[in-house]
Structure 1
Amino acid sequence: MLEVEAKFAVKDQEAVRAGLNRKGVRMGRRQQERDVYYNAPHRDFGETDEALRVRYDDAGFTVTYKGPKVRVGNAKAREEFNLTVASGETLEVILSRLGFRRAATVSKVREFYEIGDVTVTLDDVEGLGTFVEIEILTEDDKEDAADRITAIAKELGVDGPPIYTSYLEMLLSKQR
């Protein structure tokens, strides 16, 4: 599965909420997420542009692998695999015993809005600020997905330049 997304820094999420409301889109859910990222013992995910994370949220625990990013228009695409696990803590112990080491933790409050197969999230990321992400999951049509994301961003009045770095990369860069 490919995740195609565009991320934008926004100072005023209320304006984006208003744009969503004008389109008749209501918030599906709001949740706290804590993402614990790991680096592999046999290669540096920072160099290979991969990510391995354990997510803690209201729904439970998920391990996610993300492949290297590819630019597609004003969006980025990357292969993504998710697996729900019974215990995030147990998974973290297993990863640690296998030599994986914690890279960083990203905490955010996220609001979810669905427009058909498009997910719009309003994110308040601890230590980084507020953002809008527009995402489509697709098997292979990343160009069409990127074009649709650009159109939705314009409809919602999101006009800043897209951000191609992940929250993890932004946080690590800020810590340096």
Structure 2
Amino acid sequence: MRTDEASAIHEIEVKYHVSDGQALMTALEQRGITLSPPVRQDDQAYAPASWRYGMSKIGVPFARLRTEDGRHLFTLKRPVDNELACLEHETFVADREQMHSALLAMGFAPTVRIAKIRRTACWGEVSLCLDAVDGIGAFVELERLIGAEESGEEVQHRLDLLVRSLGVRMERTTETYDSLVRAAMLAASGC
């Protein structure tokens, strides 16, 4: 195993488009899951300049600059098993514009901007995010951090069973928000 893999956080996610937000809220409340107050997140996604949508994301590093409540978070994710099972490195940065310039100098290019309202909760050892994403709608994500010895796909299977236990009709997606936002933008422009 490479050193960066051993020190990185393995973030495993499952994501679902939510058509009935009230049914989901009721199911969460019935399980004693209380969501945080809403916060606005402004994300700029980045990819290596040589990468294009339609190419594989496995093994490719992707970056994100997020601003929330005046704080800036830099994240680098590298998909391992699939797009939602990634090695992840994160840190706060003081100056978003300087970090943007540094990313460009390192060979990254901006892809899409993602704006959303997020509410979060803990469900045992799982993090739950309820997102209202500009241009694409409401989504629920379940995330779990794992060690390098665990299978991301197996954890995704267990997370899927957990979501389905809510009894709310939702449509699972294996796409990341940047891909979903980009597809919505292309559809709106007629491309």
- TM (norm. structure 1) is 0.86
1:44 and 2:51 are equivalent in the alignment: yes
Residues 88-120 of structure 1 show CA distances to partners (whole Å, capped at 9, x for unaligned) of 122112223445332110000011011122011
Equivalence for 2:67: 56
User: Displaced runs of 4+ in structure 1, greater than 6 A?
Assistant: none
Counterpart pick for 1:88 among 93, 96, 118? 96
Equivalence for 2:110: 102
1:31 and 2:39 are equivalent in the alignment: yes
Mark the CA change 1:20 to 1:103 in structure 2 (over 3 Å): closer, same or farther: same
1:155 and 2:162 are equivalent in the alignment: no
Mark the CA change 1:99 to 1:149 in structure 2 (over 3 Å): closer, same or farther: closer
Q: Write out aligned runs for 1:6-21 (5 A).
A: 6-21=14-29
- The answer to whether the Cα contact below 8 Å between 1:19 and 1:157 also exists between their aligned partners in 2 is yes
- TM (norm. structure 2) is 0.80
- The answer to whether the Cα contact below 8 Å between 2:74 and 2:93 also exists between their aligned partners in 1 is yes
Equivalence for 1:137: 145
- The answer to whether the Cα contact below 8 Å between 1:6 and 1:149 also exists between their aligned partners in 2 is yes
**Partner of 1:26: helix, strand, or coil?**
coil
Aligned equivalents of 1:82 and 1:157: distance in 2? 34
Give the superposed CA RMSD. Answer: 2.2
* Alpha-carbon distance, 1:156 to partner: 1.8
- The answer to whether the Cα contact below 8 Å between 2:27 and 2:168 also exists between their aligned partners in 1 is no
Identity of aligned residues (%): 26
Counterpart pick for 2:156 among 130, 146, 160? 146
- The answer to whether the Cα contact below 8 Å between 1:28 and 1:114 also exists between their aligned partners in 2 is no
Say how many residue pairs are matched: 172
Gaps of 5+ in 1: none
1:170 and 2:184 are equivalent in the alignment: no
